[in-house]
A and B are shown apart, each in its own frame.
Chain A
């Protein structure tokens, strides 16, 4: 047996011995454990699985052991992922710090930043949120105005961030702030880490049309942040953020692997399709074929990446297609359900009917967040097709 085969066998043995049976079923949104100072568990199995994976260093399996990671190489990390998938193991925790900020700190961080933040992150003790968007800086992110003014060893931060996912539950935020108001757009921006307990930070949840409030507004009123918390060079934060967003796709795929909040369209539709006639049948088939085409494209991309082919072109379509398809799917299901698809919480509606109504509203954000569809189309037109600006 080669080294990697031995490793695979060892990983499988360990997972089988240590992953509780109830942690090997598909996960729902409500069952996700989010690491952080206020981590909470719904049952003992969640806690056991969290602690065992943490102590093995497998919250961040590919980080160096010195930073609290598992010290695995890329092939070994892949084996661990494959074995977890094969056994149906849930992710023990969800953690944007590890998935998005961590790799950036490993690349750009100072020794002090690494030793302060990475080990705690790797133990799931800190929950991070992202402070990029502002009320007047959405698609045009580089026009952000939250100001950070140098004062001795600190920066004094004033301004407002918005669309901060779970900002009310986070311990720390990584944010983009303007450190040079004179410089041109992208050039005067720095990437800074802010303790959410700092005086002057106020967080307010945003209520959405779907009745949920996963996003927050975050206000900074003269918040003092040590200058040593700037990642990368001052005024060079835009490049750091771009690198961080490259990790976003990998991070988002963890959610789909864990079972995104998505309904099986055909199962849900079946009772409403019966007797619905050829037009509904045609629309349903078209929607399923769209999904099929998307999943085949995901497979093709994976194969291309393994074969070291350039995936920039086809890769550029994925966010656009997935978000539009998910949104269109709930539009179709809701219409198929007729008036029964019009209640989020009413009595006398089935769980599916209420879920479809809620998800119809919820998925409206998919084509807006993380680069609106129009921005995606701009990128394809300019970068892939080479059309002039």
Chain B
């Protein structure tokens, strides 16, 4: 048990850094946006990421997993955040791959995990319905009818939902909204009758989908895990995703912060670099302090995810809450300290600001996770 990376994880991180710097720098996202790319990622780059083994990083060993754990994958996510690389890694690998590995039947695993590991299939998790994340509030209905399942309802903010080969839909098959019990997971073909998918254009130039299910008919093979009892597996996989999002946020934050500190050293006003002003120095130093604290929380959350430790949920909330809040604060400061150019599109800082806001909302913001942390600590 250690918060530090081992040699293999370090190598993975370093190779990710090199790869992204050359193949997917920030300019790649800018190009994607400028051409109005409808997929929201570059399939060619994604194939190269698959060649590096990223989608297999956390798969079970029998499906060719790299065995680098979430600490290793988290190190990749941090690098992804630094260049704002567009990848379906979170939706396909951490969320869908995680749920299938955790709760899927043997045939579901055999069918999908090799494809996920090879980067040949894209999957997305359809969970959120309300404006703010809260898994217990799922209302999309699932019920038995004439030997089949029926699903009816609507999902929003389905990351990569517009390009997914399959959706994993969280549905309420029993109990009222607000309860953990009564949730079920279904594997849904977007081409099935009654499924309607609408691309939504988000501020970060990546996409998410709004998904409508109108009395969609599914057979038992579509069910992932036991009916009504999906919450524990879902929460565990969500926590890993929260840690990975926090890792990507840390990358966004450190890159934007580094660029800002450089700017403070270069920009001259009143005949001196503005970084010599104590008012700015102290604000920058405070951000550095928070970044170091976040780095520790994140390392502990990823370590706990790998160990399946008792405290994993609280640590995931700790990391995601701090990453969300610090992402907001750092990027606001970054824009402000850049002055006028900070609000121009020609500078990349705006792209970091936009991405940070999307990641802040993904799977719970600071308010959600402080509340969850309080519950987990028993008050």
> Could you tell me which A residues sit within 8 Å of B by CB distance?
266, 270, 273, 278, 281-282, 284-286, 288-290, 292-294, 296-297, 299-300, 303-304, 307, 309, 313-314, 317, 320-321, 374, 376-378, 380-382, 384-389
Contact = CB atoms under 8 A, between A and B. Distances in A.
Nearest to B2: A303
A385 B285 CA distance: 8
A381 B284 contact: yes
A389 B281 CA distance: 10
A299 B303 CA distance: 13
A142 to B, nearest CB: 19
Given A317-B292, A380-B288, A387-B265, A299 B374 contact: no
Nearest to B376: A285
A317 B289 contact: yes
B127 interface: no
Interface string B258-272: 000100110000001
B4 A307 contact: yes
Contact of B292 (A297, A386, A388): A297
Closest 6 CB pairs of A and B: A381-B281, A380-B285, A297-B296, A296-B296, A285-B374, A285-B370
B288 A296 contact: no
B289 A321 contact: yes
A387 B280 CA distance: 10
B236 interface: no
A284 B371 CA distance: 10
Contacts of B276: 387-389
Interface in B322-379: 322, 367, 370-371, 373-374, 377, 379
Nearest to A288: B377
B144 interface: no
A317 B295 CA distance: 13
A285 B371 contact: yes
B328 to A, nearest CB: 14
10 contacts: A282-B374, A293-B318, A297-B292, A300-B299, A313-B288, A377-B281, A378-B278, A380-B285, A385-B281, A387-B276
Interface in B41-59: none
Contacts of A282: 367, 370-371, 374
A388 B373 contact: no
Counting chain B residues whose Cβ lies within 8 A of the other chain, the interface size class is 35 or more
B282 interface: yes
A387 B294 contact: no
A382 B298 CA distance: 26
A386 B281 CA distance: 10
Contacts of B288: 313, 317, 380, 384-385
B283 to A, nearest CB: 9
Contact of A387 (B2, B284, B297): B284
B293 A285 contact: no
B300 interface: yes
A2 to B, nearest CB: 23
B275 interface: yes
A189 B250 CA distance: 45
B278 A285 contact: no
Given A270-B379, A317-B289, A299 B281 contact: no
Contact of A294 (B261, B293, B299, B374): B293
A317 B291 CA distance: 10
B289 A285 contact: no
Given A284-B374, A300-B299, A377 B322 contact: no
A335 B276 CA distance: 37
Contact of B297 (A278, A293, A307, A313): A293
A301 to B, nearest CB: 8
A273 B375 CA distance: 13
Contacts of A314: 292, 295-296
A289 B321 CA distance: 9
Contact of B281 (A270, A278, A288, A387): A387
A325 to B, nearest CB: 10
B3 interface: yes
B36 interface: no
Contacts of B178: none
A301 B338 CA distance: 32
B293 A321 contact: yes
A297 B285 contact: no
B286 interface: yes
A384 to B, nearest CB: 6
A266 B273 CA distance: 45
Contacts of B371: 278, 281-282, 285
Contacts of B292: 297, 313-314, 317
A199 to B, nearest CB: 45
